[in-house]
Structure 1
């Protein structure tokens, strides 16, 4: 009987311990954010300045010049006039329906987030490919980042840095960076061992093998990772709008709260248009790189 009463009290004891642990963790994080929040925020000031400058550049530049620049980059990557025509039509429709400014804001933050993900993700992927120990340490973190609900990323970032562009950038990068890390690691590991042995036999150093052999051969796989990173960053746009990130996500969020169907539909289609442009251009560049490498090997 005594054993039964002790078991009945055990859930209450467990709950009280859990509440105590949660309170202590919440208090510790609040103290940390109050003490170091300003310092961490000042660390991101250069990134904020660049993001604001790039956004103003896209907003203040003549729309014809912006379209010409985007089409030029698309053609340089894809060498496809059909794709460039689709880019022009999509951007003209976005401007016609009055979504140009929000699209440029979204384009600026997605571009910055993608560049950050590439700069941070590719070196991490290279480290994973060169060391099984690093791979075993980083893989669980990537698993958590990919399975954690997107809203959860916003909680610690907002508590630490408040509401604004930088918390949105950090949340988007954390959400979108795993594919480029994983596929960089995979692409380098899939490089033919015989090719590496041949490079070593010709006296190539590890650095020369990495930049002259492994990265070029892994480029199609790395580009697939960058493609997925861009798609995940665009998927985070609406959620990031909840913490003050201006762009196409805010009208979508407004349409949800006020039941404006057409507002949400048009801005959602603009996000889809950006996603298709990024997807087709990056895929075309990856295919061109693969054909180039195939031709080089055949020679």
Structure 2
């Protein structure tokens, strides 16, 4: 029988003395869920596992276990993403560690000593689910909840283009394993404050056609966030909402970030927004991708359309 990549990865993890899990720079339900599910298993093996994340964990992920294993530093290290994890370990002292790469983003460069990047998978959590099944690892309720959370986050509760038969099959198995599915959907996708909904209203009033990206676009500024007294996390989901109500192929949401950058999220029904994002230093999927413009801000032009402008 062939010795699969997932089996090889398992053997390397079992023999690891100090495993470090690195979540994607764009911390979300999928990257966090996959990392914490793997952390749960490594804890069962008695490993002193840690999880590096790029930012503090938002409140909506409070359902996920083992968050005490996560660490975040506001140094240059916090800018490191899973896409450049190999560069992380190159900077560590001692022998160069082994790098394992599990992902589902089409823009992943397939770094590492062993990698499994399946861009047809509905979520990285589904790939990790396969890891557990292929290696005959018991999936407890904690792992099931983590993996289910990633699935529903990346498929928007089985409603976007990432949804396929594999997503439903995986979700069903995870529910039977004890995943807290209903609670995960409510916390990750449905909870919205009144202030957040009012801000969405402002964003909808700003809709315009963005010629450069051939997309219907809107934006949210730091001033908006201050006015409505909400944080950046609470605007999540606006781009998926727009995809459901706008009669146009591609949508774009621009958002000023507290680090001085402008984050641009793209969604499309056809075409390939991943190529647009990749050309600008970002990444993602063919139908959903994004990138950031550092040292920039949003400015409203005389025609009422907003533009990204470099700060002086």
TM-score (norm 2): 0.27
Higher normalized helix content (fraction of residues): 1
Larger radius of gyration: 1
